């Protein structure tokens, strides 16, 4: 029986990739701002409809260095959400800033904009919201709040590659938006990431920060890191970008199959995409209400695993519950806690076959039927 995982990395054919990397074996220019990264950057600026973009070796360092590039007040507080991947909070903490957790809203699991202002103190320097599952935050309200209190905004847009909001590329919101190109994401460069921004000055700073803070051969201005994307990563990106539209289309089809099958089933809350967003269909989260369907999230996972189907609990545990944060975080986030205990993300990737989707659907519906009181 084939194992069905929550995701599967999109790859070009072997021939397409080897063709793309052929000239690297002639030039021996395999990292440090070579031809492939220059090409990929150009293509992404166009595809993502953003003014400026910088490539990184992974999304996490892109986020960490973005916060460093903004030169925020030392020991400042950054308002963020705990319903995310550890990377978001780590990027704050590793910059010697303090994460302050705001709860999420129940509709699309992004930051609850009505709760942000209560958390603002004279130490607050920035807001770091997450477009979780590719659901776009209330960017207008966040912009208003940021202006009112003179705060920077950095979006963790790791899940939002290629999406538009009201017809505009989502990377244009806030001061900086970070996208992840990890193997598990909608678009991958094996490992990789990018940040989008408006201010060309930020581009200059990031360019140095991702290369040890080096200004020129004899001057090093800042304590930077090493976070450059290499040429083999960029070549993978160039190949994967060619098929991204058809890949997102396949994902859309699968999401529609799931939606049709689960529509109206008691106890399953499905993800709703806003009409303002052109989605990339990156994840298929389902929130399970035990009271309504007689089944817990964990029971359903066990049942799926019996059939060799491996969904994931994105995002559980909540970041405020992790060992490295549990003792230092004081804010309570009851909505996020409740969702994290009940959410399940089902397998979703472009190569997932229709019969595999049917199998997943049937296992779930049969199990719910058998447990009905
Ligand atoms: C994947 C992910 C990251 C980190 O990106 P990497 O490319 O894996 O370093 C950050 N935030 C969120 C929400 C993610 O899902």
Instruction: State whether the beta carbon of 85 lies less than 6 angstroms from ligand 1.
Output: yes
What is the arithmetic mean of pLDDT over 177-190? Answer: 98
Instruction: State whether the beta carbon of 58 lies less than 6 angstroms from ligand 1.
Output: yes
| 242 close to 93: Cβ distance less than 8 angstroms | no
Mean pLDDT of the chain: 96
Q: For residue 88, which atom of ligand 1 is closest to its CA?
A: 11
DSSP letters, 318-345, are -GGGSTTTTTT-----HHHHHHHHHEEE
Alpha carbon nearest to ligand 1 atom 13, residue? 85
Q: Is residue 373 pLDDT above 60, yes or no? A: no
- Single pTM value for the model: 0.97
Confidence of residue 338 (pLDDT cuts 50, 70, 90): very high
Q: Is residue 330 pLDDT above 90, yes or no? A: no
Contacts made by residues 7-11, CB under 8 angstroms, sequence distance 24+: 7/184, 7/347, 7/348, 7/349, 8/349, 8/351, 8/352, 9/183, 9/184, 9/188, 10/186, 10/187, 10/188, 10/240, 10/243, 10/247, 10/349, 10/350, 10/351, 11/236, 11/240
Q: How many CA atoms lie within 13 A of 27 on its CB side?
A: 14
Distance CA 18, CA 12 (A): 10
pLDDT at 2: 85
Q: Is residue 98 pLDDT above 60, yes or no? A: yes
pLDDT at 327: 87
Alpha carbon nearest to ligand 1 atom 7, residue? 59
Task: Report the percent of the chain where pLDDT is more than 70.
Answer: 99
Alpha carbon nearest to ligand 1 atom 5, residue? 59
What is the arithmetic mean of pLDDT over 73-88? Answer: 96
How far apart are the CA of 85 and the centre of ligand 1, in A? 7
Q: For residue 185, which atom of ligand 1 is closest to its CA?
A: 1
Instruction: State whether the beta carbon of 174 lies less than 6 angstroms from ligand 1.
Output: no
Instruction: State whether the beta carbon of 87 lies less than 6 angstroms from ligand 1.
Output: yes
What is the arithmetic mean of pLDDT over 195-214? Answer: 97
pLDDT at 331: 87
Instruction: State whether the beta carbon of 84 lies less than 6 angstroms from ligand 1.
Output: yes
What is the arithmetic mean of pLDDT over 89-113? Answer: 97
Q: For residue 181, which atom of ligand 1 is closest to its CA?
A: 7
What is the arithmetic mean of pLDDT over 254-282? Answer: 96
Instruction: State whether the beta carbon of 130 lies less than 6 angstroms from ligand 1.
Output: yes
Instruction: State whether the beta carbon of 131 lies less than 6 angstroms from ligand 1.
Output: no
Q: Is residue 152 pLDDT above 60, yes or no? A: yes
Alpha carbon nearest to ligand 1 atom 2, residue? 158
* Backbone phi, psi, residue 306, to 5°: -60, -30
How far apart are the CA of 42 and the centre of ligand 1, in A? 22
| 88 close to 130: Cβ distance less than 8 angstroms | yes
pLDDT at 189: 98
What is the arithmetic mean of pLDDT over 296-308? Answer: 96
Instruction: State whether the beta carbon of 182 lies less than 6 angstroms from ligand 1.
Output: yes
Distance CA 73, CA 92 (A): 13
């Amino acid at each position: 029986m084939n194992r069905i995982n929550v995701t599967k990395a999109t790859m070009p054919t072997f021939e397409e990739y080897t063709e793309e990397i052929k000239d690297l074996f002639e030039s021996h220019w395999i990292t440090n701002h070579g031809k492939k990264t220059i090409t990929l950057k150009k293509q992404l600026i166009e595809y993502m409809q953003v003014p400026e973009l910088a490539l990184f070796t992974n999304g996490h360092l892109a986020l960490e260095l973005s916060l460093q590039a903004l030169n925020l007040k030392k020991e400042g507080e950054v308002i963020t959400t705990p319903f995310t991947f550890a990377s978001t909070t780590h990027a704050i903490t590793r910059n010697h800033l303090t994460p302050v957790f705001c709860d999420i809203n129940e509709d699309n699991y992004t930051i609850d904009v009505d709760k942000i202002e209560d958390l603002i103190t004279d130490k607050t320097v920035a807001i770091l919201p997450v477009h979780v599952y590719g659901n776009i935050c209330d960017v207008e309200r966040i912009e208003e709040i940021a202006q009112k209190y003179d705060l920077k905004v950095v979006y963790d847009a790791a899940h939002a590659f290629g999406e538009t909001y009201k017809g505009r590329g989502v990377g244009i919101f806030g001061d900086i938006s970070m996208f992840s190109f990890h193997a598990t994401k909608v678009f991958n460069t094996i490992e990789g990431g990018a940040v989008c921004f408006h201010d060309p000055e930020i581009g200059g700073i990031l360019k140095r920060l991702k290369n040890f803070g080096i200004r020129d051969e004899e001057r090093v201005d800042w304590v930077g890191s090493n976070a450059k994307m290499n040429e083999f990563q960029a070549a993978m990106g160039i190949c994967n970008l060619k098929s991204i539209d058809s890949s997102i289309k396949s994902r859309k089809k699968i999401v529609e199959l799931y939606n049709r099958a689960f529509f109206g089933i008691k106890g399953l809350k499905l993800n709703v995409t806003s009409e303002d967003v052109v989605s990339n269909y990156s994840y298929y989260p389902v929130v399970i209400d035990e009271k309504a369907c007689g089944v817990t999230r964990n029971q359903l996972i066990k049942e799926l695993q019996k059939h060799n189907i491996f969904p994931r609990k994105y995002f559980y545990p909540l970041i405020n519950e992790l060992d490295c944060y549990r003792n230092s975080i004081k804010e309570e986030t009851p909505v996020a806690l409740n969702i994290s205990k009940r959410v399940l993300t089902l397998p979703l990737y472009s190569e997932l076959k229709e019969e595999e989707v049917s199998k997943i659907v049937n296992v779930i519906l049969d199990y719910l039927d058998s447990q009905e009181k």
